[in-house]
Chain A
Amino acid sequence: MSIENFYYITLFFTVFSSILFFGYLITLKKTIGDISLIIFSLSTIAIFFYLVLRGVKGGYFPVSNTHEGLVFFALLCSVFFLIFYLRNKILILGVFLSPLVTILTLIAGFTDKSIGEILPILQSFWFPIHVVSAFIGNALFALSFVVSLVYLIENFRLKKKKFDVLGKLLPSITMLDTINYFCIVYGFPFLTLGMITGAIWAQVAIGSYWNNDPKEIWSLFTWFIYAALLHTRLISGWRGKKIAFLSILAFLFLVFSFIGVKFLFKGYHVFETIR
């Protein structure tokens, strides 16, 4: 079996864990939740090995094209979820995060999966730093997005005074707000670092810090939104619902700058490794 086909194994695990997590949401049975988590962990391991194998075979840093970028994004989201799970034991977040991972992996399936030669402009010291820090930021923001969704659900339930078994599994709004804060406070420096190293890399590779690439413009726009979000939180003391809404909005921009731009505009961020 070729390494490219190993992708379908990772896809299988992510889809399977999403289905199980959905089953957990419907039945609210702890055993189903535990099984979902195990399958989810396996899918994380599978994604990790998939990227490692690609890197070994291609002999390059395995986050060098769109396909790998999406898969790496899915990997980081999974890893951060698992880390948060170990800390806070909020299994119900998986119900929302697992489909996100699945969607990312699924979209990756529609991109070119072949392992080819790497473009010379990507062979730079700055490139892996740029990609990894940008994706760490993205993954933390993805988690912030999921946590914000759960926050809005829980907030709605508390306001409308709904109580049933689901209520037992949802974490407290304070916990959700705190996790969201954590994600943004740590995600923002990574995003910033990603943008700075990206600019340096562009300077080294192309000879200019800023190239008016659509992705650059949209990313900067996203960066401003997260900066504003952090500002309202730290300086204006916003919390709760407003922050949750803003986090969701910001993430939608991020997704657009990451995926939408790729399909709508043309620019050098549309990595093609094969010449």
Chain B
Amino acid sequence: MKICILGLSHKTAPVEIREKIAFSSPQKLEEGLLLLKKIPHIKEVVILSTCNRVEIYLIVSDGINWKEDIISFFCSYQGLKRDDFVSHLYFKEDTDAVKHIFRVACGLDSMVLGEPQITGQLKEAYGISAGKNTTGFYINKLMHNAFSVAKRVRTETKIGSFAVSISFAAVELAKKIFETLEGKKAMLIGAGEMAELAAKHLITNGVSQIIVANRTYERACMLASDFNGVPCNFEEFPDKLKDVDIVISSTGAPNFIITPEKIKDAIKARRNKPMFLIDIAVPRDIDPKVNELDNCYLYDIDDLQNVVDENLKERQKEALKAEEIINSEVYEFERWLRSLEVKPLIVEIRRYFERIKEEELEEAKKKLSHLTEKDIKTIEAMLNAIVNKTLHRPTVFLKNLSNGEENYLYLDAIKEIFGIGREEKDEKKD
């Protein structure tokens, strides 16, 4: 039994390759799972297919060239030429494979370090495989461990608590100013992908109303309907500044369109309730002097980028802690795997000793016919004690056996010494 991974990700393959390998629909993925399961020696299989990675998690029998099987599966199933993608693939086995799955589940292998979506995607992938009965004993345990590791990493490190996109950073800042965005009003001046994304994030975080101002009124109306907001003539927006808590500006204006005077008036009319201004435009829309006004917080695109960079650094620090957690969990998982091998061995050894005991007891009973019931019971108890005490230390030793190459040697040596796994052959010889 071997845990194996074959895959490619944003780290090894460009998008042209990834999109060809990816399973375009759930149906396609399900069919692929069933086809893979039909390959002999493949015991269990899960396919994870996202826009950044395609990975196949496998449990295969020992000593099989599983890599070729999967590569030819991709060639025939996705209609690819071998040379197109093989150089982008990575293969992992055993400890490396377990560690890789854990790292993927925690988002440590993701393009945006520590992003949480991948855990959900992995759960979904596992759900589909489980639904098609292509998972089993080992994958089930592996996946459940991966999810609990991801949960541990999320609760024990702060990897997820630093916003690493401009629009999330804006939301985070807004919360530092307003505590909550529930019921707050925002104004979007101009348009643009980033500004609209920021506005969307504000709404999902509770902002109740968005006023949209644009040079062309039609465009304002269109955007407003997207956000369930109110359109506003471009000329009128300065009068409405006093009504909003958050301003996102992203126009193509060559000069500052928001001056300290305008904001001063707005702040006065708001009775000093704080305002948060986000200037995404280049060249800038809002005079930087606005930031010097009391109760006014102005962030331009560079400021937000700095916040993101700082946060990324913090995430990297947290990722180191996450790696430690993963290492210890990988160790635990391997111990569990080892225990699966050790348990039957312990049973076998015990059975071997019990058999000797029974045989010798019968022999003794025949020779010493004068013994009473009580005598026999005493002798039996003595023999039991000898067996138990003899086996105590080896049993404890085996149970505590950790990972590592040399431990295979122990297991093999013990099997060899007690002739376990060879008894049947020996008996036949006799």
Residues in A lying within 8 Å of B, measured CB to CB: 154, 158-159, 161, 163-165, 167-168, 170-175, 237-242
Contact = CB atoms under 8 A, between A and B. Distances in A.
Given A158-B177, A172-B179, 18 more contacts: A161-B299, A161-B303, A164-B314, A165-B158, A170-B176, A171-B179, A172-B175, A172-B177, A172-B178, A173-B177, A173-B274, A174-B178, A237-B271, A239-B273, A239-B274, A240-B295, A241-B294, A241-B295
Given A158-B177, A161-B306, A241-B295, A174 B274 contact: yes
Contact of A172 (B176, B294, B306): B176
Interface in B251-305: 271-274, 291, 294-295, 297, 299, 303
B268 to A, nearest CB: 9
A159 B297 contact: yes
Contacts, number: 52
A158 B178 contact: no
Nearest to B308: A163
B108 to A, nearest CB: 20
Interface residues of B, number: 23
Contact of B179 (A158, A174, A238): A174
A170 B173 CA distance: 12
A239 B273 CA distance: 7
Contacts of A172: 175-179
Interface of B: 158, 161, 173, 175-179, 271-274, 291, 294-295, 297, 299, 303, 306-307, 310-311, 314
A175 B175 CA distance: 10
Contact of B272 (A170, A171, A237): A237
16 contacts: A158-B173, A158-B177, A159-B291, A159-B297, A161-B303, A161-B307, A164-B314, A168-B158, A170-B176, A172-B178, A174-B274, A175-B179, A237-B271, A239-B273, A240-B274, A241-B294
Q: Is the interface of A mostly helix, strand, loop or mixed?
A: helix
A80 B360 CA distance: 80
A252 B299 CA distance: 34
B245 to A, nearest CB: 10
Contacts of A163: 306-307, 310-311
Contact of A238 (B161, B177, B272, B311): B272
Contacts of B178: 172, 174
A167 B161 CA distance: 12
Nearest to A174: B179
Q: Which of A170, A172, A238 has the most CB of B within 10 A?
A: A172
A168 to B, nearest CB: 7
B314 A240 contact: no
Nearest to B310: A163
Given A161-B299, A163-B307, A239 B179 contact: no
A239 B274 CA distance: 9
Given A163-B307, A164-B310, A171-B179, A240 B291 contact: no
A16 B173 CA distance: 34
Nearest to B313: A164
A149 to B, nearest CB: 17
Contacts of A161: 299, 303, 306-307
A239 B271 contact: yes
Nearest to B271: A237
